[in-house]
Structure 1
Amino acid sequence: MIFDPLFGWIGLGLMTAVLLTLCLIPVIRGEGPKWKWFVRMGVVAVLALALARPGIAQKSTTEEYEAAADVYFLVDTTTSMAAEDYDGTTPRIEGVKKDMLELAKQLPGARLSIITFASTASTAMPLTTDHAAFASAVDVLTPEMSLNSNGSSITEAGDELKARMDSNAEDRPDNKRLVFYFGDGEQTASGSPDSWTSFAANIDSGAVFGYGTAQGGKMKESQPFGYGGLPGDTDHGGQNGGGQNGNGLGTGDQYIRDAQGNPGISKIDEGNLRQIGSDLGLPYFQRDGSSPVSAVYTAPKYDQQLVKKDGRVTVDEYYWIPLTLVFVWIAVEMVFAFREFLRLRSVMPSRRGGRGGSGGPPGPGAGNHPARGLVASGTAGSGQSGGRP
């Protein structure tokens, strides 16, 4: 048996304590039948049990169609991927997103994963057959902000890729492994890129895709909701080194600037990208948006088969049982309230009739109020002798 309180244990405890106190005070004061208040305390305890949401955990087995392929998308999210030289003036990262979605369509039922790398590498999405979730993860990919960039290596994702492939091979040892690399090849970290020749034996297919041009492109600063500077910024490169606070970032025209205050230019390094492809044993393609990715690469076809997936935990909740008892008592309380209403309604007309009728008792205070006494005396006199002079 497990519990998942609706308001948390602290909130549930406070609510229960308040309701029990409201029931206990009338008992101490002696207001109404005590048995009703004790029953109400019991109902509060039952309500608390319902709000604690008792349930029993159940392990379920499901079957899903799955292709015998694990696909890893390595995505460069450094600041340079915001350069506007894909398909003319489009940021490179937008071209990457478009190609990723097209490749996913070529691999129905395959398990997809996204590994991003900039200053560091991380798994943005672990392997999943949920292609809708993959599309959502692709949609939110953005380059890192220039202020957070400390230089990056184009092979930064190597350790993360190896760790993910080794771990997932234990789950599906017979699955084929595909690796797709998306980047511009710019090496801004000190030292040379690492060699990935050791990964080649573990990769069955894939490709390296390059984005950018030899002429390069300007980069708008990445923001949480798009590209460009913050609204209201008017600095056009600043003073003493260009940009606000001399950091080389001019936000007035929304473009990242170098130390001289000029727009920074990022250029593709196809030599580095070809070397990565050579290390992995994969072909290299430069992507400029002039053709769909299917024109340069076609993914292998993998048959889909039903795969049993154990270990998914579901919870059968039973809060409705104590909650039903609470509703039953609410119905009983409504019956009590209706009976009391009928009782009061039957008593009230007799009281009004007693005040106005000749045979009823005198109204409150009629015998001891001076003014009322005079009126009664005068009325009696006028009836017998014609009234006072």
Structure 2
Amino acid sequence: MTFDPVLPPPALGVIVVALLALRVVSLRLAAGSRSGRTAMLRWCGTTLAVLLVLVAAARPGTGTVGSEELTPTARGANVYFVVDRSADSAIADHGEGTRMAGIRQDMRELIDAHPGSRFAVIAFASRPAIDWPLSSDTWSLEPVVEALNPYADATAGSDQVNAGAAANVLRYQLIAARQQYPQADNLVYYFGSGAGQSTAPQGQFDTGDVDGGAVFGYGGGPGLDVAALRDIAAQLGVPYIQREPGQPVPPGARPTAEVTADPQATPERSELYWLFTMLASLLLLAEIYLTARELRRNRSTRRQVLT
């Protein structure tokens, strides 16, 4: 079994120590509880769930993790998808579908165009969110891409969009990637409309030039601001490309050297983190059920006392 942690080992180690310290503190509370043995069993179950999540964060798997001696081409690139999930992406002016449908299709094509790479999905409307952390597990990424849709809450309205909302998140993600994969290229693909109807302040991408990628613009009606998208492309140091329905991803949006993985240099790796997260979820669901039942009993007892 090999490990490829989602965070640099020192950062992950700090998190492990902090969580274990919190569990030790809670052990004293469990030991002093009236329920005694039941409280201890619940403490053990929750602690085991925490440990399973920490193991999952270390990304265990079968196969060999690529060594630092491999060339960037053999190691693959770090590919970041920055996706506009505001109400602008729900506008149906991209052929016969919505802008989001076009975004999903382009993301699928780009995943196929970068074999052996790691991918991350950073979504935004008025605020950013990491929908998928940097990982080479494209098998699990595909359903995440299929499920991408515009946000439904009020903060995702066309007048609230911040086209540069993901700037700081992307910047720190790139810093971490350069530390963890110093020989790998960092590619950024931005999908959006430029927040043409927004009255909110707009952020700026201060990430420095990346190694490749593109800014993709969608639609031709409300919300499309080509000038804003070209500014974002200039900030990232990548080309701007206006997307049309049915067209393949332009060759210029791909890296200058296609990513090709040498099967002997990078043995295929099977991820096992999902097994640990699934077991942790079952344990936490049991704890949630027991906590809810305990709350109901306490409320019932209180009502009886008051009556």
- Give the 3 Å change call, closer, same or farther, for CA 173–12 of structure 1 in structure 2: same
Going from structure 1 to structure 2, the CA distance change for 1:291 and 1:192 (only over 3 Å counts) comes to same
Q: How many Å separate the matches in 1 of 2:41 and 2:150? A: 47
> CA offsets per residue over residues 316-371 of structure 1, 9 Å max, x none?
xxxxxxxxxxxxxxxxxxxxxxxxxxxxxxxxxxxxxxxxxxxxxxxxxxxxxxxx
Residue deviations 1:284-309, cap 9 Å, x none? 11112141114553333124232799
> How much has 1:99 moved relative to structure 2?
0.4
Name which of 259, 264, 268 aligns with 1:302: 259
Q: 1:190 to 1:148 in 2, by over 3 A?
A: closer
68 and 145 in structure 1: CA distance in 2 versus 1, 3 angstrom threshold: same
Note if contact 2:192-2:218 (Cα within 8 Å) is conserved in structure 1.
yes
**Identity of aligned pairs, percent?**
28
- The residue number in structure 1 matching 2:231 is 275
**Is residue 67 from structure 1 mapped to residue 68 from structure 2 by the alignment?**
no
Residue of structure 2 in register with 1:209 after alignment = 216
Which residue, out of 109, 112, 119, partners 1:105? 112
Shift of 1:133: 1.3
Aligned to 1:80, what secondary structure does the other structure show?
helix
Contact 1:182 1:210 in 2 (8 A): yes
Give the one of 111, 117, 121 matched to 2:124.
117
1:143 equivalenced with 2:150 (yes/no): yes
Matched, 1:158 2:167: yes
Structure 2 residue aligned with 1:293: 249
Q: Which amino acid aligns with 1:154?
A: A
**More helix as a share of residues:** 2
Q: Can you give the 5+ residue segments of structure 2 that lack an aligned partner in the other structure?
A: 1-36, 43-54, 67-73, 277-307
Q: Tell me which amino acid in the other structure corresponds to 2:98.
A: P
Query: Is the CA contact 2:161–2:200 (under 8 Å) kept in the aligned structure 1?
Result: no
Deviations 1:140-197 (A, max 9, x none): 101011534361210000011011111222211111100000001115554553332x
Tell me the secondary structure at the aligned position of residue 200 of structure 1. Answer: coil
> Does the Cα contact within 8 Å between 2:99 and 2:218 map onto a contact in 1?
yes
> Secondary structure at the residue paired with 1:174?
coil
Map 1:154-303 onto structure 2 (within 5 A): 154-190=163-199, 192-196=201-205, 198-201=206-209, 203-213=210-220, 216=221, 266-294=222-250, 297-299=253-255, 300-303=257-260
Q: Hey, what does 2:103 align to over in structure 1?
A: 96
What is the distance in 1 between the residues matched to 2:235 and 2:122? Answer: 19
For residue 199 of structure 1, give the secondary structure of its aligned residue in structure 2: coil
The 2-side partners of 1:91 and 1:60 are apart by 38
Residue 273 of structure 1 contacts residue 284 of structure 1 at CA under 8 Å; is this kept in 2?
yes
Name the one with the larger strand percent: 1
**Which residue identity does 1:74 align to in structure 2?**
V
Q: Is the Cα–Cα contact under 8 Å of residues 114 and 126 in structure 1 kept in the other structure?
A: yes
The one-character-per-residue Cα deviations of 1:220-260 (angstroms, maximum 9, x if unpaired) are: xxxxxxxxxxxxxxxxxxxxxxxxxxxxxxxxxxxxxxxxx
Gaps of 5+ in 1: 1-8, 15-56, 217-265, 316-389
Pairing 1:309-328 to 2, within 5 Å after superposition: none
User: Given residue 64 of structure 2, which amino acid in structure 1 is its aligned partner?
Assistant: E
Cα distance in structure 2, aligned partners of 1:295 and 1:170: 29
The answer to whether the 8 Å contact 1:68/1:174 transfers is: no
Match of 2:94 in 1: 86
Q: Secondary structure at the match of 2:216?
A: strand
Matches of 2:201 and 2:41, distance apart in 1: 61
Larger-gyration structure (1/2): 1
Give the Å deviation of 1:104. Answer: 0.7
Pair 1:119–1:289, CA change in 2 (3 A): same
Q: Partner of 1:63: helix, strand, or coil?
A: coil
| SS, match of residue 278 in structure 1 | helix
CA change 1:67–1:267 in 2 (3 A) is: same
Deviations 1:199-231 (A, max 9, x none): 233x10000000010xx2xxxxxxxxxxxxxxx
With the length of structure 1 as denominator, give the TM-score of the two structures.
0.48
Match of residue 84, structure 2, among 62, 76, 85: 76
Spell out structure 1 runs of 4+ moving beyond 6 A: 11-14, 312-315
Q: Which of 1 and 2 has higher RCO (CA within 8 Å, sep 6+)?
A: 2
**1:27-71: CA deviation from partner (whole Å, max 9, x where unpaired):** xxxxxxxxxxxxxxxxxxxxxxxxxxxxxx9x8773157633100
**Corresponding residue for residue 356 of structure 1:** none
